[in-house]
Structure 1
Amino acid sequence: MNAARPALATFHAPRADDALALVGLTVAYRVRGKDRDVLTDVSLRIKRGEAYGLVGESGCGKSTVALAVLRYLAHNGRVRAGRIAIAGEDVLALDREGLRMLRAHKVSMVYQDPASALNPTLTIGRQLSEAFEAAGANAADALAQSHAMLERVRIADPARVMASWPHQLSGGMQQRVVIAMALASNPALLILDEPTTGLDATVEAEVLALIAQLRAELGMAVLLISHDLAVIRGMCERMGVLYAGRLVEEGATRDVFARARHPYTVGLLRCLPAPGRNKAHGALDTIPGELPAPGTLAHGCVYAPRCRLADARCHEHAPPPHRMEAAHGEQMSRCHYHERAIELPVADAANDANTADLRAGAQTIAPPAGQSDPRTNEPAGETPCAPRAHEEKVVLRAANISRTFGRGPHAQRVLDDVSLELRAGETLGLVGESGSGKTTLAKLLLGLHAADPGGTVELDARPLAERLAQRDAGQLQALRIVFQHPDASLNRALPVKRLVGRALALARRAGASNAPSAGSHETAAEPADEAAGEDAEARNAARVTALLDAVRVPVRYLAARARQLSGGLKQRVAIAQAFAGEPRVVICDEPTSALDVSVQAAILNLLARLQREHGVSYLFISHDLDVVRYLADRVMVLYAGRVLESGPANAVLNGPCHPYTETLLDPGMLTRDTSASEARIGTPGGDIPRNPTGSVAGCVFSARCPRKLGAICDEAAPPFDADAHGHRIRCHIPAEQLRKLQAETAPAQPHP
């Protein structure tokens, strides 16, 4: 084995072939009169045409790297030391005009939340044209180039999108528009800050393929910031791992995934749900503890308080950046024990700090000791050894619900005759591309939209009013939601403790007014406790703290306002709000899409534990099929508002499955021929078709289907029959034939 060669930095000066070079970058924010370092001695380089991935937990400094590169730091932030060079230009030495020209011609950035990058008062066409005009095009050319760029990012109807307002587009569509704007100047460096968070698997694959194609054509370099390790693995040649503002590991992506050299990297990789593993196999591995506060001075290794390999040497002496030769180049690790980091022991789920957090959070919705939980009819405090039986009671039922927006010739059917059942203690995974109707279905169940006449929604076999305002307090508490974008549910001006405290107060009031019928867990002692003044306040504070501990929000954020939190922290607060009461059903609309893998694992463990102990049911909407595979008992697949497949999770996700489900599991199908007898029929990629009437003659997926049979798919409605296990596929191809076709064309799918 090659001996490690300690050094102070990966390199000491920018090189001619660098698209981006950071040398000893240290960034600080001034808070309460003191400078707090959020990046410390970060050195990395990205060659022209290279893709470099930057990973790490929320709050580790990934976005600060991007903002420092563009000199977009907040007014209280500054670069204390180091150099930044983009395509040979010293960024820190540029004046205002030089910086404007750099941003217009050499570097572009795509942010995590596309809605924040789009002006709600301007049409998409106007905003996209401005990007081309800033790059030097005249007004007429800018419009033509805007139309062409929307086609390049796989938007099927560019003219309609250009005439649309941002709020009229789905999250995935908004993100593709923002990427189109970023590519307007053909930049030498494209910075992508969590660009695929709001995209489904098929659109994500198309967008990343597009970026890879543009890299090859233009020699463009990419800095990809992401918590999605699978995206980093498929997109980037090299990667760096950031922890508490320090680059703790770096190397060729294949080398880091094959043999990580830092315990933190090993922990991140182990947080991912393994193939074939679900909640019945036990809790996911997690990383105990939390990131240190910005500016915290550490005498030893900054990761030592959370590391299962740490000893006295780690706590006393900061490790230098050790380097070793790997299969595809040099690999760096800031770890004294980098040679055995891969031997990191697996967390003990029974004793891990995260498990304690989950237990504390679960107590906030548990009934008082000695009383039975009316949802499960079991004594409080007793943890069953096995999950609840799902067959006994249907909690939520929707039958034949549809939803049409608009009237007359402009009417659009976005849900078409959808039915579902959700049993006590069960998770129903709802999957499909952006625009398939998933969120619309969730809003119908919640009463935010009214269904078309003819459908019914029931809670505990009793009809639910179609409008939210018509439902009683108990019904409102019974159905809760966690939104995809936490900004949609958090008041940005309120501190975290008040946001969660208000949700607890609302839950208590609902319980007091609907205790018998709503399944409330409040007891007769509650009013007295609430009247006790200081005791009630202390009790409420304790419950707030327990809830936030459960979703791993550090106590130092109790007084922070929502606008001061990272995207991951906002989502954790939103989840705590949803569980503040006694929900029977929680609708989770992409609840982990904004979370890094370590927090995602903790949240999934929390959801599984609450479900196991208290019979909570989930309608779990997600683009991440590995997460769905882990948590869901059953899966329903939506496309263009129609259910194309439903059944037990193992049956749906392991096949045979509908060709559309197959494309979700393997997005590469849309770009390769899977027909054994003829050229592929249909249009790969593109948008979900709009359905103006809701009366499609044939299969709604026929225009894009990689296994289309012919005219029958366009002219005749496919059967939707169930097998003995309740697995239903809406397709003209028999299940056994689908099994054979899918077995013949299934590629090997390595997992991180």
Structure 2
Amino acid sequence: MTEPLVSVRGLTVDYVVEGRRHRAVDGVDFDIAPGGSLGLVGESGSGKSTIAFALARYLPAGAEVRAERLTVAGHDVRGLGARALRDYRRTAIGFVYQEPARALNPTRSVGSQVAETHRLRGVRAAAARTATVEAFAEVGLPDPETLVHRFPHELSGGQQQRVVIAMALAADPRLLILDEPTTGLDSRVEAEVIALVDRLRRERGFATLLISHNLPLVASHTERIGVLEHGILVEHGEAAGVVEAPLHPYSRLLVDAVPSLDARTRPVEPEHAQPLLSVRGVSKRYGSHLALDGVDLDIGRGEVLGLVGESGSGKTTLGRVIAGLARAEGSVSLEGSDAAAAVPVQFVFQSPDASLNPRRTVRQTLTRSIQLLHGDTDAEELVLSTGLPVDVLDKLPDELSGGQKQRVAIARAFAGRSPLVICDEPTSALDVSVQARVLDLLVELQERTGVSYLFITHDLAVVRRIAHRVAVLNGGRIVETGAVDDVLGDPQHPYSASLVDAARSLRGETTRGLRDVIAA
């Protein structure tokens, strides 16, 4: 029998902060075969990333690690000294992080950063530069000889992630750890990145540990799945078996929460024909880059319009223009008012961590919003309306979970009587069960208040779950608009078809069973 490349037995990790002990991982066991693949799924805080960092010995001060066995490629990770640990990280493992922009040094060219990885292995400068160009070509980056001289901010999100993958594979590791590697990427780029990892794993023979909140992604691109709940591995088995016939109630909950590309859509209602928002000929430049090119768009009263397109297509820019946060050519009118004046539009951003003041309690944040928007409610009523317990009112953002913070951001958007709320990727960083609850909340609030949404997302299954109509943005232009069933079921524009095809390929053959479970 082949010895496993990764062997973990009884892994327990405690975080000790200000004398208080929090158990993040509790007695976890698993193996990964040479060249094999394991996916870890679970809610935020379930211990997925902690396991990955334990394998790399990257855990912060205050973390206490215990394990009967913790080996990777013959290395006992627990007992590595400083020099042995450096050699282990340099040769045995590669790490691909969730946010490539934060993993790359903004002050250095991407080529120099990858070349440095080769230099640390003793490769001479000229050979390191050649190896970097070859690595960029291997990961599918265009014109690699030119691109090596660019800085991270000059690359798209998908290109940045390819650079990080090239860097992680520079040392030819035995294990590649991918921690939420496609969060925030649109379906087409996401499919390309995952297909790239699959191809390189077959060609090079390394093993992968894929950590993600995207269950369909993990199910279709790993051989085995482990399901984590509160640090405990509650289920572990073949990918197809876990998604088609989950044994643990929590696994079933995750499967049931996955939005389907074939789910029933919300019908377009007669009142949606009454115009609320009209966008005509909107164009926006950033220097020489044309971000929006003559965009025309309408949103009806009580309507949810999904806006989809790849990273850099102009989705967020259009949302900011409609909200009056950015100036542009053309006209934006809401109920006949010019949006150049104060527009009663609210915005729910992708990251509540970045949009909530870390020094203000929930009560202070919501009370201020009610005052500024002349609302007729109070903070307690707002948190109750979004399904939050009243005791969150006196907590700071860092005392809340990711889902709770996003609910606070949504509550803030409903502090006044704004007829239009712009939601910019509000669920992209949430795990599937929290995502499902937030989407249900948004639908409930929309139906109760009659508000309209511009819902920006890269996830077509989410569009199908929440939107009445969908608009497809490509290169700053609207290329297709229509009812969700029509656009996603029978796309007329080649670009729309490519997005749908990519979304389906991400779910792969394995998730046919997943869709059957959801439909059951």
Task: With the length of structure 1 as denominator, give the TM-score of the two structures.
Answer: 0.64
SS in 2 for 1:233: helix
Please say if 1:390 is aligned against 2:272.
yes
Distance 2:285 2:296 in 1: 16
Segment of structure 1 superposing worse, 195-204 or 152-161: 152-161
SS in 2 for 1:121: coil
1:197: which partner in 2? 183
Please say if 1:47 is aligned against 2:22.
no
Summarize deviations over 1:633-668 as a string: whole Å, max 9, x none: 111111111221111111111114222111111129
Of 375, 395, 401 in structure 2, the residue corresponding to residue 559 of structure 1 is 395
SS in 2 for 1:750: helix
2:364: which partner in 1? 501
* Matching residue's letter, 1:85: T
Of 291, 299, 318 in structure 2, the residue corresponding to residue 422 of structure 1 is 299
Summarize deviations over 1:476-519 as a string: whole Å, max 9, x none: xx22222234443234x426x34x632431331331xxxxxxxx
Task: Give the C-alpha shift of residue 257 in structure 1.
Answer: 1.6
Segment of structure 1 superposing worse, 613-622 or 571-580: 571-580
Distance 2:327 2:513 in 1: 42
* Matching residue's letter, 1:88: G
Please say if 1:510 is aligned against 2:373.
yes
Distance 1:67 1:580 in 2: 40
CA contact (8 A) 2:469 2:484 kept: yes
CA contact (8 A) 2:176 2:209 kept: yes
CA contact (8 A) 2:5 2:72 kept: yes
Summarize deviations over 1:415-459 as a string: whole Å, max 9, x none: 21111011121111111111222122122222333213xx11112
| Distance of aligned partners of 1:34 and 1:630 in 2 relative to their CA distance in 1, 3 Å threshold | closer
Task: Give the C-alpha shift of residue 279 in structure 1.
Answer: 5.9
Summarize deviations over 1:506-561 as a string: whole Å, max 9, x none: 331331xxxxxxxxx43xxx8xxxxxxxxxxxx54x246436x52x5895795355
* Matching residue's letter, 2:418: P
Summarize deviations over 1:555-581 as a string: whole Å, max 9, x none: 57953553x766555544444443444
CA contact (8 A) 1:567 1:595 kept: yes
1:458: which partner in 2? 333
CA contact (8 A) 2:100 2:161 kept: yes
1:404: which partner in 2? 285
Task: Give the C-alpha shift of residue 159 in structure 1.
Answer: 5.0
1:627: which partner in 2? 462
2:421: which partner in 1? 586
Distance 2:212 2:297 in 1: 34
SS in 2 for 1:74: coil
Distance 2:185 2:389 in 1: 26
Distance 1:404 1:553 in 2: 44
CA contact (8 A) 2:187 2:459 kept: yes
1:432: which partner in 2? 309
Distance 2:477 2:87 in 1: 48
| Distance of aligned partners of 1:174 and 1:501 in 2 relative to their CA distance in 1, 3 Å threshold | farther
* Matching residue's letter, 1:635: V
SS in 2 for 1:429: strand
Task: Give the C-alpha shift of residue 130 in structure 1.
Answer: 2.3
| Distance of aligned partners of 1:415 and 1:657 in 2 relative to their CA distance in 1, 3 Å threshold | same
Segment of structure 1 superposing worse, 112-121 or 167-176: 167-176
Of 448, 454, 458 in structure 2, the residue corresponding to residue 613 of structure 1 is 448
CA contact (8 A) 2:468 2:484 kept: yes
SS in 2 for 1:660: helix
CA contact (8 A) 1:637 1:644 kept: yes
| Distance of aligned partners of 1:251 and 1:432 in 2 relative to their CA distance in 1, 3 Å threshold | same
Distance 1:169 1:575 in 2: 31
| Distance of aligned partners of 1:88 and 1:668 in 2 relative to their CA distance in 1, 3 Å threshold | same
Matches within 5 A, 1:160-199: 161-199=147-185
Please say if 1:641 is aligned against 2:476.
yes
Please say if 1:212 is aligned against 2:77.
no
Task: With the length of structure 2 as denominator, give the TM-score of the two structures.
Answer: 0.91
* Matching residue's letter, 1:175: Q
CA contact (8 A) 2:239 2:510 kept: no
Summarize deviations over 1:79-99 as a string: whole Å, max 9, x none: 134321111110010011111
Please say if 1:252 is aligned against 2:257.
no
1:66: which partner in 2? 52
Please say if 1:449 is aligned against 2:326.
yes
* Matching residue's letter, 1:636: A
Distance 1:73 1:190 in 2: 17
Summarize deviations over 1:227-263 as a string: whole Å, max 9, x none: 1111111100011101111010011001112211111
Greater radius of gyration (CA)? 1
The list of structure 1 runs, each at least 4 consecutive aligned residues, that deviate by more than 6 angstroms after superposition, is 668-671, 746-749
CA contact (8 A) 2:43 2:431 kept: yes
1:99: which partner in 2? 85
Matches within 5 A, 1:25-424: 25-158=11-144, 161-278=147-264, 280=266, 389-392=271-274, 394-406=275-287, 411-424=288-301
SS in 1 for 2:251: helix
Task: Give the C-alpha shift of residue 44 in structure 1.
Answer: 0.5
2:518: which partner in 1? none
2:492: which partner in 1? 657
Please say if 1:666 is aligned against 2:501.
yes
| Structure 2: gaps of 5 or more residues | 515-520
| Structure 1: gaps of 5 or more residues | 1-14, 282-385, 466-470, 512-520, 527-538, 672-745
1:596: which partner in 2? 431
CA contact (8 A) 1:275 1:751 kept: no
| Distance of aligned partners of 1:509 and 1:571 in 2 relative to their CA distance in 1, 3 Å threshold | closer
* Matching residue's letter, 1:481: F
* Matching residue's letter, 2:197: I
Distance 1:481 1:567 in 2: 18
Distance 2:346 2:123 in 1: 49
Distance 1:432 1:238 in 2: 31
Segment of structure 1 superposing worse, 586-595 or 172-181: 172-181
Distance 1:147 1:616 in 2: 51
SS in 2 for 1:112: coil
Distance 2:167 2:390 in 1: 37
Distance 1:58 1:637 in 2: 30
Task: Give the C-alpha shift of residue 463 in structure 1.
Answer: 0.9
| Distance of aligned partners of 1:207 and 1:40 in 2 relative to their CA distance in 1, 3 Å threshold | same
CA contact (8 A) 1:26 1:82 kept: no
Distance 1:39 1:464 in 2: 50
Task: Give the C-alpha shift of residue 400 in structure 1.
Answer: 0.8
| Distance of aligned partners of 1:506 and 1:670 in 2 relative to their CA distance in 1, 3 Å threshold | closer
| Distance of aligned partners of 1:558 and 1:145 in 2 relative to their CA distance in 1, 3 Å threshold | farther
| Distance of aligned partners of 1:593 and 1:656 in 2 relative to their CA distance in 1, 3 Å threshold | closer
Q: Which has the higher contact order (CA 8 A, sep 6+)?
A: 2
* Matching residue's letter, 1:390: H
The size of the alignment, in residue pairs, is: 513
Task: Give the C-alpha shift of residue 118 in structure 1.
Answer: 2.1
CA contact (8 A) 1:120 1:166 kept: yes
Distance 1:655 1:747 in 2: 21
| Distance of aligned partners of 1:615 and 1:170 in 2 relative to their CA distance in 1, 3 Å threshold | farther
Distance 1:400 1:604 in 2: 31
